[in-house]
Amino acid sequence: MRRLGGVHAPHRKNTAGSKPERLPLPKEIVLPMSMHIGAPAKPVVKAGDQVAVGQLVGEAAGFVSSPVYSSVSGKVKSVGDFITSAGQKTTAITIESDGQQTLWEGLKPPAVTNLDEFLQAVRDSGVVGLGGAGFPTAVKLTVKELDKVDYILINGAECEPYITSDTRTMLDETDFVAEGIGLLRKFFGKKIVIGIEKNKPEPIRVMKDLTAKTEGVEVFELPGLYPQGGEKVLIYSITGRIVPEGKLPLDVGVVVLNVTTLAAIARYVKTGMPLIEKCVTVDGSAVKEPKNVIAPIGAPIKDLFEFCGGLEGAEKILYGGPMMGIAVPDDSVPVLKNTNDVLAFNKKDAALPEETPCIRCGRCVKACPMKLMPLNIETAYQLKKPELLETYKVNLCMECGCCAFVCPAKRRLVQVMKLSKPMLKSYQDKQKAGKEAKVQ
């Protein structure tokens, strides 16, 4: 078994056996136009407009962008500024639900008879990387030289603690997963490998039964090791190929899709309903009744917590898992396209451990899946030496948190990695500008 670094983080898949329950309709939703990597969508509605379920409210504003659709029927309350949990300013559309869930009259399955039509359908579906990355899927599937692609990997690893929404996709949306695989085989004709961690025996069994008689498709059992679901780690574990710094999976002949992303594409092709809802794992020590919840995109996460019995002593709320999740300011933030879970922790679990001096034990180096030296990067950052950050390849860091997880001194290594990257970019931009000035 090929293996990079990684850690044995506690799985805590408390909701793996919890079939998703549908959230009662929220009173209003908030749809940020930036729920994906790339250019924010451009609003095509204004305050006072009536909208229906599945109606376009934000059009893609470029090749690397994605459209946004209404998940409720009702009236547009406002179109205005919105600050994301990452501190970025964007535009958001707030819609008051009328409780009717009237479907948009233009909904119909797209015509998909060739690769170009399939790619257009993926663009129109509004689907982005639903495993958390949020990269527009149509861009990922637009391959100029198809003969250079050897594998399409379906990511079912779901290695972060707590999260089970992808597990439920494999168990509950099996037909759509199968149809998605059929579309990929028809229009790409490449070998498809579904990667699932060994600690998920039921999804493995279901996917093996699904693909047993399908030529060119197999299920690959991965070690139950975090961050097995990281794109570069997954590629190496299954194919042995290494994605170089600054390169993409396509550069090593691989395309990677999350399993829920694949099911969402298949649903759109079959029904014409774009991406308007998500299965979200709701868990954590402050959640009274952890569940998997099917929620409209744009619903406030407060509604999800209330649906799960409410919170008890919550001190911190996260979008995403405890390893790579982002703390949110309050429970009014909305469910986004790439929200696969929301976690709430009590004071004990939310408390940051005391940071002590590095003892040079090297555990962070051993754990790093990218074979970096986090302690050296931390020193370079503290000394404000961006040239050393470049030498130590900080841009290869996937910010998985393995280094901080194993650090006995509890160093804030992930934060250092995040802060080091803009420092290095500023340095590289200055270097580039200096060279261009000399040429002129």
Residue pair 34/66 in contact by the 8 Å Cβ criterion: no
The mean pLDDT of 47-61, rounded to a whole number, is 97
Checking if the pLDDT of 3 tops 70, the result is no
Residue 439: band (very low, low, confident or very high) from pLDDT cuts 50, 70, 90:
confident
For the chain, the domains span 115-271, 363-439
Residues 6+ apart with CB under 8 A from 380: 386, 388, 389, 391, 392, 394, 420
Convert the pLDDT of each residue in 177-200 to its tens digit: 999 999 999 999 999 999 999 999
Residue pair 346/314 in contact by the 8 Å Cβ criterion: yes
Domain 115-271 has CATH 3.40.50.11540: yes
The mean pLDDT of 29-35, rounded to a whole number, is 96
Checking if the pLDDT of 74 tops 70, the result is yes
In this prediction, residue 213 carries a pLDDT of 85
Residue pair 126/110 in contact by the 8 Å Cβ criterion: no
d(CA 408, CA 178): 45
Checking if the pLDDT of 1 tops 60, the result is no
In this prediction, residue 403 carries a pLDDT of 97
In this prediction, residue 246 carries a pLDDT of 85
Task: Name residue 230's amino acid.
Answer: G
In this prediction, residue 275 carries a pLDDT of 98
d(CA 402, CA 233): 13
Convert the pLDDT of each residue in 83-112 to its tens digit: 988 788 999 999 999 999 999 999 999 999
Checking if the pLDDT of 133 tops 80, the result is no
Q: What is the 3-state secondary structure (H, E, C) of the chain?
A: CCCCCCECCCCCCCCCCCCCEECCCCCEEEEECCCCCCCCCEECCCCCCEECECCEEEECCCCCCCCEECCCCEEEEEEEEEECCCCCEEEEEEEEECCCCCECCCCCCCCCCCHHHHHHHHHHHCCECCCCCCCEHHHHHCCCCHHHCCEEEEECCCCCCCCCHHHHHHHHCHHHHHHHHHHHHHHCCCEEEEEEECCCHHHHHHHHHHHCCCCCEEEEEECCCECCCCHHHHHHHHHCCCCCCCCCHHHHCEEEEEHHHHHHHHHHHHHCCCCCEEEEEEECCCECCCEEEEEECCCEHHHHHHHCCCECCEEEEEECCCCCCEECCCCCCECCCCCCEEEEEEHHHHCCCCCCCCCCCCHHHHHCCCCCCHHHHHHHHHCCCHHHHHHCCHHHCCCCCHHHHHCCCCCCHHHHHHHHHHHHHHHHHHHHHHHHHHHC
In this prediction, residue 33 carries a pLDDT of 96
Checking if the pLDDT of 435 tops 90, the result is no
The mean pLDDT of 100-125, rounded to a whole number, is 97
Checking if the pLDDT of 165 tops 70, the result is yes
Convert the pLDDT of each residue in 298-334 to its tens digit: 999 999 999 999 999 999 999 999 999 999 999 999 9
Residue pair 211/184 in contact by the 8 Å Cβ criterion: no
Convert the pLDDT of each residue in 362-374 to its tens digit: 999 999 999 999 9
Convert the pLDDT of each residue in 224-235 to its tens digit: 999 999 999 999
The mean pLDDT of 122-142, rounded to a whole number, is 92
Checking if the pLDDT of 2 tops 90, the result is no
Convert the pLDDT of each residue in 414-434 to its tens digit: 999 999 999 999 999 999 888
The mean pLDDT of 252-272, rounded to a whole number, is 97
Q: Torsion angle of alpha carbons 104, 106, 107, 111, nearest 10°?
A: -170
In this prediction, residue 132 carries a pLDDT of 74
Checking if the pLDDT of 4 tops 80, the result is no
d(CA 146, CA 128): 21
Checking if the pLDDT of 440 tops 80, the result is no
* pTM score of the predicted model: 0.94
The mean pLDDT of 208-223, rounded to a whole number, is 93
Checking if the pLDDT of 45 tops 80, the result is yes
Residue pair 1/223 in contact by the 8 Å Cβ criterion: yes
Residue 438: band (very low, low, confident or very high) from pLDDT cuts 50, 70, 90:
confident
Q: What is the mean pLDDT of the chain?
A: 95
Convert the pLDDT of each residue in 345-388 to its tens digit: 999 999 999 999 999 999 999 999 999 999 999 999 999 999 99
